[in-house]
Amino acid sequence: MADTRPLVLVETCTGGAVAAAISAQPGASAVLRWALTLYDHASKTDFLDLDPAVFIAHGSVSEQAVTALAKAAFQRLVKQDPGCRDQARALAISGIAGPSGARPGKPLGHCWMALNRARGGDSHCLQLSPARSPYREQATRAALTWLLND
């Protein structure tokens, strides 16, 4: 792996597929510090010390939720290894992979990603396939592409 910046992941809709794709590469241990696959609000708040209000107010599939997850993951990584702060990155991804779970304004295939680093965070929303397997592949590919281009 050419990029050796420390990385942590918080995945929901991809079920760990981003971590699996990264860990399949030689040298992954130089990059991937840890990855969490968290589905319910209690796990997200417990593992990352988040206020559950963000999920209650905005839902798990929202810019606010993924931004909070990425920021909390980044802060936890930096707390574990303060020397990595300037290079560290944290990616969070959440979405509706189907076949159920759509809500008004959040159709099947809806996906939010956030990337946090020392210089700040970014987020974006994608509309992917409404079918579960293609959705997970597309979301994983989009996350990996974002990481490679960051």
Q: Which of 45, 53, 95 is nearest to 73 (CA)?
A: 45
14, part of any domain: yes
Q: How many domains are contained in the chain?
A: 1
1, part of any domain: no
2, part of any domain: no
67, part of any domain: yes
Domain with 139 in it: what CATH number?
Answer: 3.90.950.20
The predicted pLDDT at position 3 comes to 80
137, part of any domain: yes
144, part of any domain: yes
Domain limits for position 104: 7-24+33-149
Does 16 score more than 70 pLDDT? yes
Q: pTM score, two decimals?
A: 0.94
pLDDT tens, residue by residue, 18-65? 999 999 999 999 999 999 999 988 899 999 999 999 999 999 999 999
pLDDT tens, residue by residue, 87-142? 999 999 999 998 998 988 899 999 999 999 999 999 999 999 999 999 999 999 99
- Across all residues in the chain, what is the average pLDDT? 94
pLDDT tier for residue 1 given thresholds of 50, 70 and 90: low
Beta bridge partners of 124: 113
Distance CA 45, CA 53 (A): 10
Distance CA 95, CA 66 (A): 10
Fill in the DSSP letter of residue 103: B
Distance CA 53, CA 128 (A): 27
